[in-house]
């Protein structure tokens, strides 16, 4: 992790001198905010090609063009410059290039990744944690399937986190990043007690810091310290640290991915919609952790257990709303007719036993989505 | 990190099949508690030699014998089985083997480590964090110099943490481990505010968990969960996580090393003696953090600022005493005549500007040691 202002320059020493590099990026905002220039200056004199246009929720169809380019040009190092979508897309490219057969099988059939190109990251959107983990989520546009894979071979060789690269981001992306990081923690934390008090406290540390710093970094985008703290929270939220040895949920993500695939919602918007309802519907199996979350994260100690749980769920929803991410399907013009479609899609893909206790069956998914209305 | 019961067996897959292995260990307790047998069974059929007798506060003189053995036998993989001393000693061996010149220069003259043998770890004493960091502390017995070095090249390739291997440890070693881990956190935490609220909260997470689990794991050595939680705390206390981007002190360690070198005290005993006095003498430059520590770690919110600071320092001393580690020089039969000797030794080694603000000069060291009486 190369953290701090000006750190993009240090990638020069991190990429082998003889490497043939492909710089990957998204919609091109890096060309207007100076990041592109900093990157190109750091790899000046190297063999460099570029591949732009990786979309949010990166599409298989787009990424396969990059795979072809890499194969044809003999590129042997990938440098992802962007947010989670660019990084996830680049991880897929890295694994797909040496893959024999249809690379979509890596996600659709969990075909093992046996080899991958090395990749580095220059992070410009704090949110997904992809800069410090082995995960990647890709969407097959043709069938609207949004699926994930994981492999240690696509773990970034280095990641640059320069808070200044985020100063020019739209507020919406920061707000989304706050919700994304917060929900990543919740998926690993809000389950059931598992003799892991240190992981619990570290998860609570991230949540409390996000609650404290989120509004601050939204209010003043050029507050370097606030942006740096937020950036580090987002990375720590999903780099494996708080999830070691504990049960994990991830059903909010599984359901949310369907909303993105079907309706084009931002990833974080889907989480803001699904998480509060998940907490509400599945409260009995998460009871102890909900009470702990209420007390330690929100300082809720008065009232009956039920009142505290309700207040904690309401606080979560209010927090998402307060940073500007709406939490109802209706806020996005989505009606209840989507519910049976989502349930059917999950069933078709045999995603019928979600959550930390594999008890989030189609009926529970429906109940959760009904509450999201 | 290979964490959990039975994990020693999995080192088979972590060590290259063709490796010529040297298993290093300490006083031989691993031969009576079953760890040695588990390790040997995991490397059965490989080329294996062994080197026992690495002492607590590992000595250069002993380690150089291992260096000679490794060089003569063409050993190319080191497997440290033990606690911090065995691991630190093995890190030194790893760096010393390919070193040209006198390997003590790595510590005495901070000669750069350019190459090192790969090493793996089977941890049996939770305390130092050496299983997940790049540090090593070695003592030159001839001159009683206890010095440290650090290199990414001696970062363990893997570490096995099986809580069951600690069930048979003497209570004293567990108590020492609690104090050691606690003080590691304090060295990185109790400085001055540095716009790092997440690192602060994570440090507090470790401290609170140690306070909670320390007495519990002492009371019931075979409580697997308590031992597992303690083991993970000790690792997280010094694996770099809570120290990123923040000022660090380490003067308690610097002074403590002298007490070990001169009087043979356990490392943790020296920390238990020096830390409370450091907190007391340097209170003004640590004021804000002392107040935060008082409130968040000990729940001290009543009284004047001075009263809260005093109570926090007293709580720290009481905690060390409560787990059975004494906190006064006199408890170990050491008189004040050692103070000028220590000050002189630090001055001779030009360690005259210790601490996070480099203001722990010989006069401050003397003041701290006077208070340790």
Interval B147-181: pLDDT, tens:
999 999 999 999 999 999 999 999 999 999 999 99
* Chain A residue at shortest CA distance from B225: A195
* Chain B residue at shortest CA distance from A229: B196
Cross-strand partners of B81: B122
B306 CB-near residues (< 8 Å, 6+ apart): none
Q: Which of B111, B131, B165 is the last residue of a domain?
A: B165
Q: CATH number of the domain that A103 lies in?
A: 3.40.50.1970
Contact A233, B198 (CB under 8 A): yes
DSSP secondary structure letter of residue B55: P
Partners of residue B1 in chain A, C-beta under 8 Å? 244
Provide the pLDDT for residue A350.
87
pLDDT, block means (10 residues), chain A with 373 residues: 97 96 95 96 97 96 98 98 97 98 97 98 97 96 93 98 96 97 98 97 98 98 98 97 97 96 95 98 98 98 98 98 98 97 94 95 98 96
Are B78 and B157 part of one and the same domain?
A: yes
Domain of B338?
171-372
* Chain A residue at shortest CA distance from B196: A229
Are B87 and B148 part of one and the same domain?
A: yes
Contact A95, A154 (CB under 8 A): yes
Candidate from A1, A3, A232 with C-beta closest to B198: A232
Are A27 and A138 part of one and the same domain?
A: yes
Are B177 and B154 part of one and the same domain?
A: no
Q: pTM for the full model?
A: 0.96
Are B264 and B219 part of one and the same domain?
A: yes
Mean pLDDT of B125-141: 96
Contact A205, B205 (CB under 8 A): yes
Are B286 and B311 part of one and the same domain?
A: yes
Q: What is the pLDDT of residues B208-255, one digit of tens each?
A: 999 999 999 999 999 999 999 999 999 999 999 999 999 999 999 999
**Average pLDDT value for chain B:** 97
Provide the pLDDT for residue A365.
98
* Chain A residue at shortest CA distance from B201: A205
Answer whether residue B28 shows pLDDT above 90. no
Provide the token pair at A201. Answer: 């406290």
Query: For the purposes of burial, counting CB atoms within 10 Å of the CB of A294, is it exposed (0-12), middle (13-18) or buried (19 or more)?
Result: buried
Provide the pLDDT for residue B307.
98
- pLDDT tier for residue B196 given thresholds of 50, 70 and 90: very high
Are B271 and B287 part of one and the same domain?
A: yes
Are B136 and B59 part of one and the same domain?
A: yes
| Number of domain units in chain A | 2
Contact B217, B167 (CB under 8 A): no
Could you report the predicted ipTM of this complex, rounded to two decimals? Answer: 0.94
Partners of residue A241 in chain B, C-beta under 8 Å? 241
**Residues above pLDDT 90, as percent of chain B:** 98
Check B198 against A1: CB less than 8 A apart. Answer: no
Q: CATH number of the domain that B248 lies in?
A: 1.20.1090.10
Check A195 against B1: CB less than 8 A apart. Answer: no
H or E, element range at A138: strand A135-140
Check B241 against A241: CB less than 8 A apart. Answer: yes
Contact B26, B173 (CB under 8 A): no
Check B209 against A196: CB less than 8 A apart. Answer: no
Q: What is the pLDDT of residues B53-109, one digit of tens each?
A: 999 999 999 999 999 999 999 999 999 999 999 999 999 999 999 999 999 999 999
Are A180 and A138 part of one and the same domain?
A: no
Provide the pLDDT for residue A216.
98
Are A139 and A196 part of one and the same domain?
A: no
Check A232 against B204: CB less than 8 A apart. Answer: no
The rounded Cα B238 to chain-centroid distance in angstroms is: 8
DSSP secondary structure letter of residue B100: S
Q: Which of B128, B147, B165 is the last residue of a domain?
A: B165
Check A198 against B212: CB less than 8 A apart. Answer: no
Candidate from B3, B209, B245 with C-beta closest to A197: B209
Partners of residue B208 in chain A, C-beta under 8 Å? 201
Q: Which of B125, B147, B165 is the last residue of a domain?
A: B165
H or E, element range at A49: strand A47-51
Are A26 and A157 part of one and the same domain?
A: yes
* Chain A residue at shortest CA distance from B226: A195
Provide the pLDDT for residue B349.
86
Distances (CA, A) of A130 to A84, A110, A160, A183, B175: 6, 19, 12, 14, 39
Partners of residue A229 in chain B, C-beta under 8 Å? 195-198
Are B348 and B287 part of one and the same domain?
A: yes
């Amino acid at each position: 992790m190369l953290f701090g202002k000006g750190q993009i320059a240090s990638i020069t020493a991190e990429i082998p001198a003889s490497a043939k590099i492909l710089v990957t990026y998204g919609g091109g905002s890096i060309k207007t905010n100076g990041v592109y220039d900093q990157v190109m200056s750091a790899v000046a004199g190297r063999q460099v090609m570029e591949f732009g246009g990786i979309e949010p929720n990166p599409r298989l169809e787009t990424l396969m063009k990059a795979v072809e380019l890499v194969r044809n040009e003999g590129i042997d190092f990938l440098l992802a410059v962007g947010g989670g979508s660019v990084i996830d897309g680049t991880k897929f490219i890295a694994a797909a290039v040496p893959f024999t057969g249809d690379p979509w099988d890596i996600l659709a059939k969990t075909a093992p990744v046996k080899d991958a190109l090395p990749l580095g990251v220059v992070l410009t959107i704090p949110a997904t944690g992809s800069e410090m983990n082995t995960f990647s989520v890709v969407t097959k546009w043709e069938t609207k399937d949004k699926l994930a894979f994981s492999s240690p071979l696509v773990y970034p060789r280095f990641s640059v986190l320069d808070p200044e690269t985020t100063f020019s981001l739209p507020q919406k992306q920061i707000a989304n990043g706050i919700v994304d990081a917060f929900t990543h923690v919740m998926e690993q934390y809000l389950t059931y007690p598992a003799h892991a008090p240190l992981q619990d406290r570290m998860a609570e540390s991230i949540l409390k810091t996000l609650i404290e710093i989120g509004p601050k970094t939204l209010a003043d985008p050029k507050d370097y310290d606030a942006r740096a703290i937020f950036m580090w929270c987002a990375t720590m939220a999903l780099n494996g640290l708080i999830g070691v040895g504990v049960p994990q949920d991830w059903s909010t993500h599984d359901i949310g991915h369907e909303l993105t695939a079907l309706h084009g919602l931002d990833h974080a918007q889907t989480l803001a919609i699904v998480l509060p309802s998940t907490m509400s519907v599945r409260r009995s199996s998460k009871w102890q952790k909900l009470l702990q979350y209420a007390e330690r994260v929100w300082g809720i100690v008065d009232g009956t257990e039920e009142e505290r749980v309700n207040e904690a769920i309401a606080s979560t929803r209010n927090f998402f709303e307060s940073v500007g991410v709406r939490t109802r399907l209706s806020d996005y013009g989505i009606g209840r007719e989507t519910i049976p479609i989502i349930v059917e899609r999950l069933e078709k893909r045999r995603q019928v036993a979600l959550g930390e206790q594999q008890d989030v069956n189609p009926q529970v998914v429906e109940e959760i989505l009904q509450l999201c209305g």
